[in-house]
Chain A
Amino acid sequence: MPKTIQNEDELRDALKRCPEQAITAAIEFNETRDPSLVPTIVMGIIERFVEPDVRPVVRKGDDDARLMEDLGIDSLLMVEIVMLIEETLSLSIENEELRNLRTVGDVKVYLDAKLKGLPLPTTKNLLRLEQIVAEMPHQPPFLFLQEARVNGEAAEGRYAISGDEVFLQGHFKDDPVFPASLMLEALGQLAVLYLRKTDRAEFSGIDREKIVFVSCDGVRCHRICRPGDTLQMRIELRKVHLPLVQFQGTITVNGVRVAKAEEISLSILEGELPEFAPREK
């Protein structure tokens, strides 16, 4: 267990050059251990260590900002950031656990899980295209997931609109736009992936081969997405009342929200898929 920082003076000294709000949050966290303070502390520590010209990116709070490519944080700098986080939050972080943290969002999710004693993101949870293709009933050209991670009550996925998608030729001619319905579809697919890969207790022992869309509600699209945009998708588990499973989903592009679905409900089917009308006997 790292040497803990006991008093306010020590904290202020350890966190000097961090933004004031991070220091205040750290002092409060020392008393209350309230996990909701952690993002402010961690972002403040990250801000203190990155180059000055990158600090505005950190301050924007974009969870998709990549530690290495966007913030210039190499593995050695990561060690220093982690050490200070360990001291400030009185946590012990193993090197192994750091290897999969690639974005700011990853760091926040990781620390949140750590503090709450939840399962941590590991490489087992990160799925690349080949694994997704192997796992999903959906296949190209109707698979809108290229990379995904399933963790705890959520899943994240990524899809880059290439411009070669066949339907873009007609939607629209000379003006390719990724259809809103397919944004919803992508979220649904991510939810399907979640259900098939999650190791949560309530799904264990259930055959998750057949999952169907049931309903959605509160679907809003805010921006048009075009070839060149990478959809960053996130679904979170809301309710489980088997066979129904309800999710919430959001899609962002470059940190800007482009779509949200308040509710996507899927059903895990056992037996045959229902047909539209009973067969004539």
Chain B
Amino acid sequence: MRKVYVTGMGLATCIGRDESSAVEHLKSLRHGIVRYPPFADPAIPVKVAAPIPGFEIVGTDPEDWVFPEGLRFRMEQYRCLSPNVLYACYAMQQAIENAGLTEDEVSHPRTGMFTASAGSAMMTWMHMDRLKRLGPSRCMPMGMIASIAGTLSFNLVSRHKIQGSSTGFVSACASSGHALGYAFDEIALGRQDRMFVVGAEDFTEETIVPFGVMRVLSSQTDPDIASRPFDRDRDGFVGTGGSVVLVLESEEAAKARSASVYAEMKGWGQSTDGHHVAIAHPEGAGLRRAMEAALTSASITTDQVDYINAHATSTQIGDAAECRAIKSVFGSQPKPRISSTKALTGHALSLSSVMEAAFSVLALKHGFIPGQAHLKNPDVEAVGLNLPRETLDEAPATVMSNSSGFGGANVSVIFGK
């Protein structure tokens, strides 16, 4: 099995559109959550959200959208755009530049791309609305391509002329974790030399607000306390979106082009709760097995893990289940420091896993351990867990990042220096 390195990243997140901005937010525990004006309507039960700076999704015509300088689209690409793809194009461009890859290295039979997004609820609605109102012959030709879950793959692989392995993963909040894990396998098993892992999610009313009816969104109006994983008074998550791209390469490929390396991806594991379509297994059984599988895959003992970036989304049931799962693997007084950076970013759904993996990688590269923000009164289940209230100026050597999705899918990935 070959070694896998992280050699590049691109970010379009609510706590930064580049590495230094994200690191600054993680170190100072500055969150990106705001009182969100489009949710002011009294009918909408949620008031806070975490927008991505520099982007504005105005209406359903992509030519009207606002995005940072330096990102260009051909007319034919505008037709297929949705917000998650827009963010991903930005992150991908940054990742390629950051990794120092040439066009020929990006478009190569040994370079692949795995993606994760839930598709675009907003564009689906827009096109279906046209279908129902105006009839089939007046649908936009690219309507489906711009809407369905594969849209991220379709757009990115064609835009960058990807020739290697490509597919998308659809496992809700574990999606980009699966994308990372299977990308790791492609390289470790020798099938590909380089893999882009692209996670992205729309940041629109259509994507976020429906979670309100499920009672999993925080109804807090104060952005400073709304997202508080592990806190006794947590009442749901805060929505965000954006995109993160990680570049994975085999050791040989990275060395051959003297790539600068962020960290090594050491292994991963997955397992499913076998419990409920939306509610986590009370003991976090699937997550426990996923963590154990990750440790085995990375040939690492529990003692060696310095930091766990938890999935914890700030929901009552989910956070509690994760506490139990961590204790069942690491003991009642787990050694690793633990925090959920969702306190700073909110929950980015399909994007979460790779975004938090990126944060974990940044922690390794820059030598810090992100603290647990917004924690006032730890939940009783969190007793015994080492949840630093401030970011620690300490360089971890091994980091684990967890993600759990609808249906009880759980993924755990491990990075090391």
Which residues of A approach B to under 8 Å, CB–CB? 2-3, 17, 49-51, 74, 76-77, 79-80, 83
Q: A3-B134, A17-B63 are in contact. Are A51 and B75 (CB under 8 A)?
A: yes
Interface digits, B52-84 against A, CB 8 Å rule (1 contact, 0 not)? 000000000001000000000011100100000
Would A80 and B141 count as touching, CB distance under 8 A?
yes
7 contacts between A and B (CB under 8 A): A50-B75, A51-B75, A76-B76, A76-B141, A77-B79, A79-B141, A80-B79
With both chains docked as a complex, state the minimum distance between the C-beta of A261 and any C-beta of chain B, in angstroms.
40
CA distance A2 to B138 in the complex (A): 8
Is B189 in the interface zone, CB < 8 Å from A? no
Task: Identify 11 new A-B residue pairs, CB closer than 8 A, beyond the known A3-B138, A79-B141.
Answer: A2-B138, A17-B63, A50-B75, A51-B74, A51-B75, A76-B79, A76-B141, A77-B76, A80-B79, A80-B141, A83-B138
Interface residues of B in 119-162 (CB under 8 A from A): 134, 138, 140-142
With both chains docked as a complex, state the minimum distance between the C-beta of A87 and any C-beta of chain B, in angstroms.
8
Hey, which chain B residues are within 8 Å of A50, CB to CB?
75
With both chains docked as a complex, state the minimum distance between the C-beta of B168 and any C-beta of chain A, in angstroms.
22
With both chains docked as a complex, state the minimum distance between the C-beta of A55 and any C-beta of chain B, in angstroms.
10
CA distance A2 to B63 in the complex (A): 24
With both chains docked as a complex, state the minimum distance between the C-beta of B231 and any C-beta of chain A, in angstroms.
48
With both chains docked as a complex, state the minimum distance between the C-beta of A6 and any C-beta of chain B, in angstroms.
15
Which residues of B approach A to under 8 Å, CB–CB? 63, 74-76, 79, 134, 138, 140-142
With both chains docked as a complex, state the minimum distance between the C-beta of A18 and any C-beta of chain B, in angstroms.
12
Hey, which chain A residues are within 8 Å of B63, CB to CB?
17
CA distance A77 to B138 in the complex (A): 13
Hey, which chain B residues are within 8 Å of A83, CB to CB?
138
CA distance A248 to B141 in the complex (A): 42
Would B75 and A77 count as touching, CB distance under 8 A?
yes
Hey, which chain A residues are within 8 Å of B75, CB to CB?
49-51, 77
Hey, which chain B residues are within 8 Å of A17, CB to CB?
63
CA distance A50 to B74 in the complex (A): 9
With both chains docked as a complex, state the minimum distance between the C-beta of B416 and any C-beta of chain A, in angstroms.
46
Hey, which chain B residues are within 8 Å of A51, CB to CB?
74-75
Hey, which chain A residues are within 8 Å of B141, CB to CB?
76, 79-80
With both chains docked as a complex, state the minimum distance between the C-beta of A17 and any C-beta of chain B, in angstroms.
7
Would A80 and B140 count as touching, CB distance under 8 A?
yes
Considering the complex, give the chain A residue whose CB is closest to the CB of B80. Answer: A76
With both chains docked as a complex, state the minimum distance between the C-beta of B403 and any C-beta of chain A, in angstroms.
37
Considering the complex, give the chain B residue whose CB is closest to the CB of A86. Answer: B138
CA distance A83 to B79 in the complex (A): 14
CA distance A225 to B6 in the complex (A): 61
With both chains docked as a complex, state the minimum distance between the C-beta of A30 and any C-beta of chain B, in angstroms.
19
With both chains docked as a complex, state the minimum distance between the C-beta of A221 and any C-beta of chain B, in angstroms.
40
CA distance A118 to B389 in the complex (A): 79
CA distance A50 to B76 in the complex (A): 9
With both chains docked as a complex, state the minimum distance between the C-beta of B9 and any C-beta of chain A, in angstroms.
31
CA distance A159 to B141 in the complex (A): 36
With both chains docked as a complex, state the minimum distance between the C-beta of A198 and any C-beta of chain B, in angstroms.
34
Max chain A Cβ within 10 angstroms of own Cβ: one of B63, B74, B76, B140: B76
CA distance A80 to B61 in the complex (A): 14
CA distance A201 to B403 in the complex (A): 76
CA distance A77 to B75 in the complex (A): 9
Shortest beta-carbon contacts, A-B, top 4: A76-B141, A79-B141, A51-B75, A51-B74
CA distance A74 to B79 in the complex (A): 13
Considering the complex, give the chain B residue whose CB is closest to the CB of A50. Answer: B75
With both chains docked as a complex, state the minimum distance between the C-beta of A72 and any C-beta of chain B, in angstroms.
8
With both chains docked as a complex, state the minimum distance between the C-beta of B73 and any C-beta of chain A, in angstroms.
10
Would B134 and A76 count as touching, CB distance under 8 A?
no
With both chains docked as a complex, state the minimum distance between the C-beta of A74 and any C-beta of chain B, in angstroms.
7
With both chains docked as a complex, state the minimum distance between the C-beta of B370 and any C-beta of chain A, in angstroms.
44
Considering the complex, give the chain B residue whose CB is closest to the CB of A75. Answer: B141
CA distance A2 to B134 in the complex (A): 8
CA distance A17 to B76 in the complex (A): 15
Hey, which chain A residues are within 8 Å of B79, CB to CB?
76-77, 80
Max chain B Cβ within 10 angstroms of own Cβ: one of A2, A3, A49, A76: A76
CA distance A122 to B293 in the complex (A): 66
Would A74 and B134 count as touching, CB distance under 8 A?
no
Considering the complex, give the chain B residue whose CB is closest to the CB of A76. Answer: B141
CA distance A79 to B75 in the complex (A): 14
Hey, which chain A residues are within 8 Å of B142, CB to CB?
76
With both chains docked as a complex, state the minimum distance between the C-beta of B177 and any C-beta of chain A, in angstroms.
35
CA distance A76 to B76 in the complex (A): 9
CA distance A109 to B142 in the complex (A): 28
With both chains docked as a complex, state the minimum distance between the C-beta of B60 and any C-beta of chain A, in angstroms.
13
Hey, which chain A residues are within 8 Å of B134, CB to CB?
3
CA distance A3 to B134 in the complex (A): 8
CA distance A257 to B359 in the complex (A): 65
With both chains docked as a complex, state the minimum distance between the C-beta of B97 and any C-beta of chain A, in angstroms.
24
CA distance A21 to B273 in the complex (A): 63
Hey, which chain B residues are within 8 Å of A80, CB to CB?
79, 140-141
Hey, which chain B residues are within 8 Å of A77, CB to CB?
75-76, 79
CA distance A149 to B79 in the complex (A): 34
CA distance A9 to B37 in the complex (A): 28
CA distance A3 to B74 in the complex (A): 29
Considering the complex, give the chain A residue whose CB is closest to the CB of B145. Answer: A76
With both chains docked as a complex, state the minimum distance between the C-beta of B30 and any C-beta of chain A, in angstroms.
39
Considering the complex, give the chain B residue whose CB is closest to the CB of A2. Answer: B138
CA distance A274 to B79 in the complex (A): 64
Hey, which chain A residues are within 8 Å of B74, CB to CB?
51
CA distance A79 to B140 in the complex (A): 8
